[in-house]
Chains A and B, each alone.
Chain A
Amino acid sequence: MRKTQRLAHSGGGRAISRRKFLGVTAGATAALSFGTFIRSGQGAASLRILTWSNTLNAMDDTLREQAKQYTKEKGVEVAFEFINQPDLPSKTAAAVESGAGPDIITTWSDGAHLHDKALIDVSDVAQPLGNQLKGWTNIAKDIGIVNKVWKSVPWGIIPIAVVYRTDWAKEVGYDKFPDTYDEMLVLCRKMKEKGHSSGFALGRSIGDANQSHYPMLWAHGGAECTKDSKRVAINSPGTAKAVDYVRRLFKESESEDVFSWDDSSNNRAFLAGELACTGNAASIYWAETKNAPQLRAVTNHALWPKGPAGRFGYSSALGLGIFKFSKFQKEAKEFITWLLQPKQYSAWIGVGEGQIAGLLNFYEDDPVWKKDPKLELIREIPKYVRMPGYPGPPTRHAAEAMVKYVLVNMFARACKGMSTPDTIKQAEAELKEIYSKA
């Protein structure tokens, strides 16, 4: 008898064939795996909230603390998951398609319109909050209401202001930031002549590029579509004026680098002392405390200037939506209501120092705006904010046009030398292709 067979028999039992060994092993593995599929039981409610990772970490830390506090008070487990903002669309898409994921999602700008079929009706959260806290702003209704139903509870807006160097502006004779685009061009040109360039992103910067240039389009009378969103209306004298203006602004005052900028590039340039004027949230001013304290005294904010058609702005507005597949919809609604109460909300935006403004009229008088005079006008910005698709509502077509940088590219091509009619025609063709879809 060979050695292996002697070993198999040594225990007194039958010989174990390889086949039997494999079969038993496979069966045991399958049984163990099956066990992990059995959930340990529903137990207490728990909420998962997917949101963006704030540039101001302190705001995220505040949310974590508030989550712990809520758990202590109500016995509901709450966990925030903070991810990079550009990854939010793909994570949201994965959750929508798979029917599994977080209970509460942060809808970014037109997110509620894009995913409204996957979100529940939250009118019973939004309406009472509006009644309690002096009503919602117009932009809140734009982002939260889809087909007359609240699908997302507006959470806040990141006001994008003009951020500029007061010392360099003073050097060329400006104590205050100009109130019209034409005067802004003069100021920026004079600053560049002194060696200080401005910069408004014209690259693949989903925030800054769009949020700087959509207002320039609207302020000069341009628009991508008609009020009923049915027809493309980009080819207009207003758009031509806007294109000519942006071209002049670039050639006479801006840095050549703007074509490669992402959302953090202008922050870094400003903090490095390389930028005179840009469009950004209060995050630059906040970051200067740690990274460039010497600049804090010479940095200030301004409203976006007025153009021939008025004053406009575009800022990212955030909302909180609840997925249909969530098993804890009641608890999610209660949590959102709690989160927007003055005690919690004021603490959160207070730490933000102007990074986020409330979308309920009550929060216009929040103490955060009194912390620093340089932040006070930021609370005015949401009044002028419109969404892509203006003068119509924010639609899927407008969202697609923004994601494809149709308007930003129109301006970029003009700055690179293309004629105004040609660049508008190209944008028109791209928009018509988008708006022709269902």
Chain B
Amino acid sequence: MAAIAHAERLPARPWVSRFTKPEALTGYFLISPAVFLMLVLLAYPFVLAVWISMTDRVLGEPGKFIWFQNFFKLLQDPLFRETVWNSFIYTITTVFFKMFLGVILALLLNQEIPSRNLIRGAILLPWIVPTSLSVLTWLWMFDSLFSIVNYILLGLGLISRKVPWLGDPFWAMVSVIIVNTWRGLPFFAISFLAGLMTIPRELYEAAEVDGALRFRQFWHITLPLLQPIIAVVVLFSTIWTFADFQIVYILTHGGPINATQIFATMAYDVALVAGRIGEGSAISLFLFPALLVVIILMLKYLRRE
């Protein structure tokens, strides 16, 4: 009673003092390393990249401010237009396959099978192994002369002549899509699996009692309840895939004949090899406004859910 009375008698704190109280200062102190790292490693490079993208800077020279001229010029560049098209094809196709296969894999991993935990851990390997190393292996597997994939397919009689995995514009795009899907699938599968594990079993039992078959259970229970996780994972994967560099750089370097050139690889060539860093920054930031809108809409949708 006395404690409650004492609590009722406490005066209201002015809002300023909330920030100057010793506890608050300790809090700021503790988060300051993280904030510092974010400012230095994320915010500063980003702001600098935006600034540089609005100049005509070349390596070693200050350049002058030219507003959005780089962006307008890029739209007139046939190579850049091809890059935009390739990037959208690459991203949309890989995200779709990762989502589709991720759901299937998550459903399989959610079953009661022997060594389930071991298998779940092993599934993560493509995601964990450093991308550069795994893609170098794929480079060998798709090699024009020594491709093990062609060797196996020819041996099984599934093809009559070797597939030019990296030498044909269509097959080169297929190759980078395969590798990106292989690399990103574990992230999707494990995220969806985590979502599946939170769905109460009673819902499925009730649906079974009502006579719902497996597909209807999946369509009316699993999918709706997985929707928020699917949305978040798809959002992250879309951003990452638009910014992808390693897979295309190592496998095809944007070729053949620019068939797999995407934003990051083109930005690398233009900025670091040809020395036009103003233009290179503009290439890498080209999609930023669109992606920002997508992120805002997606987060609004999730908040509503």
Contacts and interface: CB of A to CB of B under 8 A. Distances in A.
Contacts of B79: 404, 430, 433
Interface in A99-115: 114-115
A274 interface: yes
B164 A399 contact: no
Interface stretch (A45-53, A60-68, A293-301, A405-413): A405-413
Given A115-B60, A396-B274, A433 B77 contact: yes
Contacts of B165: 260
B21 to A, nearest CB: 12
Range of interface residues on chain A?
A: 35 or more
A400 B276 contact: yes
A261 B168 CA distance: 11
Contacts of A256: 164, 167
Interface stretch (B101-109, B177-185, B249-257, B286-294): B249-257
B271 A429 contact: no
Interface stretch (A32-40, A138-146, A264-272, A345-353): A264-272
B131 interface: no
A336 interface: no
A405 B271 contact: no
B157 interface: no
B78 A204 contact: no
B166 interface: yes
Interface string B141-164: 011111000000000000000001
A90 interface: yes
Contact of A274 (B58, B145, B275): B145
B22 interface: yes
Contact of B164 (A89, A257, A413, A438): A257
A44 interface: no
B256 A259 contact: yes
A114 B275 contact: yes
A242 interface: no
Contacts, number: 118
Contact of B274 (A203, A255, A399): A399
Contacts of B143: 265
B26 interface: yes
Interface string A203-227: 1100000000000000000000000
A396 B146 CA distance: 38
A437 interface: yes
Contacts of A96: 59-60
Contact of A89 (B29, B258, B272, B277): B272
Contacts of B60: 96-97, 115, 117-118
A265 B59 contact: no
Given A257-B167, A258-B167, A115 B255 contact: no
B167 A409 contact: no
B34 interface: no
Nearest to A116: B60
Contacts of B210: none
B188 interface: no
A118 B78 contact: no
Range of interface residues on chain B?
A: 35 or more
A96 B172 CA distance: 34
A54 interface: no
B49 to A, nearest CB: 12
Chain B interface mostly: loop
Interface in B262-282: 268-277, 279
Contact of A403 (B56, B76, B274): B274
B61 interface: yes
A202 interface: yes
A257 B253 CA distance: 16
A22 interface: yes
A55 interface: no
A204 B275 contact: no
Nearest to A400: B274
A416 interface: yes
A269 B257 CA distance: 22
A144 B117 CA distance: 62
Contacts of A416: 169, 257
Contacts of A262: 253
Contact of A90 (B30, B58, B268, B270): B268
Contacts of A272: 145
Contacts of B73: 433, 437
A15 interface: no
A433 B166 CA distance: 28
A153 B74 CA distance: 36
Interface string B14-55: 000000001000100110000000000000000000000000
Contacts of B167: 203, 256-261
Contact of A396 (B30, B169, B172, B275): B275
Q: Indicate the member of A90, A93, A202, A416 with the most B CB atoms within 10 Å.
A: A93
A437 B276 contact: yes
A118 B58 CA distance: 11
Contacts of A255: 144
Given A19-B26, A90-B268, A202 B256 contact: yes
A262 B164 CA distance: 14
A90 B30 CA distance: 37
Nearest to B22: A19
Given A22-B29, A404-B270, A416-B169, 14 more contacts: A89-B272, A114-B275, A115-B59, A118-B59, A204-B253, A255-B144, A260-B165, A260-B172, A265-B144, A268-B146, A429-B78, A430-B77, A437-B279, A438-B56
20 contacts: A93-B271, A93-B273, A117-B61, A203-B167, A203-B256, A256-B167, A260-B164, A260-B167, A265-B144, A268-B145, A272-B145, A399-B275, A400-B270, A403-B273, A404-B79, A405-B255, A412-B256, A429-B78, A433-B76, A437-B73
Interface of B: 22, 26, 29-30, 56, 58-61, 73, 76-79, 142-146, 164-169, 172, 252-258, 268-277, 279
Give 5 nearest A-B pairs by CB, closest first. A260-B167, A257-B144, A260-B166, A259-B167, A204-B253
